Structure 1
């Protein structure tokens, strides 16, 4: 079994829900990441991705609007760090997502298993 913890990116960037969409996009560009975890009072509530940015602007949201208006706040899908990569890929495929937050045994988000990590995992399985 190949676990997602072996392929995930870490650390995971987090922003509070009252952060502007423009600021979140700037941070994502600076750090070269395609997603950030959105928190409220430090608790993970959603994920904001590059796809969410496109959706937000196409809906006419203002760059100064809070990220909570454009994030997928009600649907944070996660996996445990020991989840097999093929299970994670299946979850991503079924939910049509490209970023999957990874939790440790205490439930803390410790990494992000993204579509770009899949090729690394498959290369190890099928050299």
Structure 2
């Protein structure tokens, strides 16, 4: 049976919490990703998504403001790389999130299971 590891996207990009929103948005565009992990002292603390960028602008934040002001910090929801993909989908649904960081056995973030990966899972199970 396939696990989350078979569907996740790699690599995962990380930025420090004091990085400007503009720098993070540029990185996301350059790398073609919809989210990055936000770290403090190198430790993963949260996530910044394309939706967070829109929210930041609508709240009147400046592109020069730190990404910590616009990201979700504190309760980083993750899934194990060996988890069933349907368990990951359930976590995403229950938490109303579109990007789910994936951890390896050592606890390191090694991938991102995103809403776009769900179609790959569904393709594999359809007759």
Regarding TM over 0.5, the answer is: yes
Q: Say which SS state the counterpart of residue 10 (structure 1) adopts.
A: coil
Which blocks of at least 5 consecutive residues in structure 1 are unaligned? none
| Structure 1 residue ranges, 4+ long, deviating more than 6 angstroms after superposition | none
Where does residue 3 of structure 1 map in the other structure? 3
Distance in 2, matches of 1:82 and 1:126, equals 21
Shift of 1:56: 0.8
Number of equivalenced pairs? 127
What are the equivalent positions in structure 2 for 1:72-83 lying under 5 Å apart? 72-83=72-83
Where does residue 12 of structure 2 map in the other structure? 12
| Deviation digits for residues 92-126 of structure 1 (CA, Å, limit 9, x no counterpart) | 01111000000000000000000001101111111
Distance in 2, matches of 1:74 and 1:109, equals 15
Q: What is the root-mean-square deviation of aligned Cα atoms in Å? A: 0.8
Give the TM-score taking structure 2 as reference length.
0.97
Distance in 1, matches of 2:31 and 2:68, equals 21
